[in-house]
């Protein structure tokens, strides 16, 4: 049994991690933390856990060094870097769900976020997208779990950029459920601000744009434009990517390329021609569904769907943990999507 700590257990990603890890046969959760609810049982914060997981929350701002084999940091960016700096000992595995260790280039991080206070750890960090970086994750003690939008966009683009097939810029049009903003109270997440409407936000300035861009550029030197939207639903991301191929490839052959690229990937499902992803069919699961259509003039539309809290956050974090610990990658992650 490996002992695991969830630092910042009272948010949406923390709860999702606990839900997944409770069914993990090789894991015992021995630490859950919160500053706001310290001393309370986590089942008082999340009554769905009553009688199943009643661990008492201890303060996040305490010394937890060496207490766990794996620490998940479910904290806001900025706070995670301090916590990682405190915990990092090259023995425990640290998986950070914030943006603090997703960027190899500190300049890009600092332009999009804030001054990094644990820059000396960045060379030790791996971008935790197993489909692209599995071999590096295997040996890592510090994993920067990707953002939810970047997961959906990079997985949608990877077979094309890996083969250098795109001409010009691509437009990435993403729609997210409101849990993407976390559980902390914010004006923009209030029911009346979200329900009965649908809007883009942060066009050209969203912090996930540089994260997607730096990954795309590792494979093909093209530009991206990212437009996120907020949808009046609890969870899920649907991403549609528009662009043009250097040479037209028909839909069947493009789908065959995707199927070949992802043939050994347990969580990527490629749809047949004419079938497109739907957030309803990945809810509460670690799957990323991808469908696409190409046109005679070379233009293409690729659509991906994930659950932002599972493949976009905590499920992917457990997938990374499994890889890093050398246990079967799908352990505790094979639950069916929940529908309706």
Ligand X SMILES: NC(=O)c1ccc[n+]([C@@H]2O[C@H](COP(=O)([O-])OP(=O)(O)OC[C@H]3O[C@@H](n4cnc5c(N)ncnc54)[C@H](OP(=O)(O)O)[C@@H]3O)[C@@H](O)[C@H]2O)c1
**Tokens found for residue 125:** 């960090």
Total Cβ atoms within 10 A of residue 201: 12
The pattern of x and - marking residues 247 through 266 that bind ligand X according to CB under 6 A reads --------------------
Cite the DSSP H helix spans in 139-250: 148-162, 191-194, 208-219
The pattern of x and - marking residues 179 through 218 that bind ligand X according to CB under 6 A reads xx-xxx----------------------------------
Does the annotation count 74 as an active-site position? Answer: no
Nearer to ligand X, 294 or 316 (CB): 316
Among 309, 321, 323, 324, binds ligand X (CB under 6 A): 309
Segment near ligand X (CB under 6 A); pick from 115-123, 221-229, 279-287, 308-316: 308-316
Among 4, 24, 32, 34, binds ligand X (CB under 6 A): 34
> By CB under 6 A, how many residues form the interface with ligand X?
30
Among 140, 152, 174, 308, binds ligand X (CB under 6 A): 308
Task: Identify whether the C-beta of residue 240 lies closer than 8 Å to the C-beta of residue 291.
Answer: no
Nearer to ligand X, 85 or 167 (CB): 85
Q: What angle do CA 335, 236, 154 make, to 5 degrees?
A: 95
Nearer to ligand X, 84 or 148 (CB): 148
Does 11 bind ligand X (CB under 6 A)? Our answer is yes
Among 32, 94, 148, 156, binds ligand X (CB under 6 A): 148
Strand 237-245 to 299-306 pairing: antiparallel
**Tokens found for residue 195:** 């329900």
Task: Identify whether the C-beta of residue 225 lies closer than 8 Å to the C-beta of residue 172.
Answer: yes
Total Cβ atoms within 10 A of residue 241: 24
CA–CA distance, 332 with 307 (Å, rounded to integer):
16
3-class secondary structure, 325: helix
Q: How far is the CB of 186 from ligand X (least distance, A)?
A: 9
Q: How far is the CB of 58 from ligand X (least distance, A)?
A: 11
Does 299 bind ligand X (CB under 6 A)? Our answer is no
β partners of residue 56: 41
Q: How far is the CB of 35 from ligand X (least distance, A)?
A: 4
Q: How far is the CB of 192 from ligand X (least distance, A)?
A: 20
Burial class (CB in 10 A: 0-12, 13-18, 19+), 20: buried
Cite the DSSP H helix spans in the chain: 12-21, 42-45, 79-87, 106-112, 130-138, 148-162, 191-194, 208-219, 251-261, 315-325
The residue at minimum Cβ distance from ligand X is 11
The pattern of x and - marking residues 58 through 97 that bind ligand X according to CB under 6 A reads --x-------------xxxx-x-----------------x
| Residue positions annotated with a catalytic role | 148
Residues at the site binding ligand X, with contacts judged by CB under 6 A:
8-14, 34-37, 60, 74-77, 79, 97-98, 147-148, 179-180, 182-184, 308-309, 312-313
């Amino acid at each position: 049994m490996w002992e695991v700590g969830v630092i910042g257990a009272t948010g949406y990603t923390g709860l999702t991690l606990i839900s997944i890890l409770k069914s993990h046969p090789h894991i015992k959760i021995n630490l859950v933390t919160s500053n706001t609810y310290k001393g309370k049982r986590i089942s008082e914060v999340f009554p769905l856990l009553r009688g199943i997981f009643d661990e008492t929350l201890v303060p996040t701002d305490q010394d937890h060094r060496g207490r766990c084999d794996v620490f998940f940091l479910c904290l806001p960016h900025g706070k995670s870097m301090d916590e990682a700096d405190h915990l990092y000992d090259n023995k425990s595995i640290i998986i950070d769900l914030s943006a603090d260790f997703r960027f190899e280039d500190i300049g890009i991080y600092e332009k999009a976020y804030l001054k990094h206070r644990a820059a000396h750890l960045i060379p030790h960090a791996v971008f935790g997208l197993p489909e692209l970086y599995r071999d590096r994750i295997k040996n890592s003690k510090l994993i920067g779990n990707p953002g939810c939008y970047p997961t959906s966009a990079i997985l949608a683009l990877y077979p094309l950029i890996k083969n250098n097939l795109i001409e010009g810029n691509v437009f990435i049009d993403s729609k997210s459920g409101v849990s993407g903003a976390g559980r902390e109270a914010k004006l923009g997440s209030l029911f009346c601000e979200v329900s009965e409407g649908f809007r883009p936000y942060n066009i050209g300035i969203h912090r996930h744009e540089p994260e997607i861009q730096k990954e795309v550029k590792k494979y093909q030197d093209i530009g991206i434009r990212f437009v996120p939207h907020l949808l009046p639903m609890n969870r899920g991301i649907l991403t549609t990517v528009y662009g043009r191929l250097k040479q037209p490839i028909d839909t069947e052959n493009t789908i065959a390329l995707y199927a070949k690229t992802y043939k050994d990937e347990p969580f990527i499902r490629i749809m047949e021609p004419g079938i497109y992803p739907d957030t309803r069919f990945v809810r509460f699961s670690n799957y990323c569904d991808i469908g696409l259509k190409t046109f005679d003039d070379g233009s293409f539309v690729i659509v991906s769907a994930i659950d932002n809290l599972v493949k976009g956050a905590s499920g992917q974090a457990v997938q990374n943990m499994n890889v890093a610990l050398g246990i079967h990658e799908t352990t505790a992650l094979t639950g069916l999507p929940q529908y309706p």
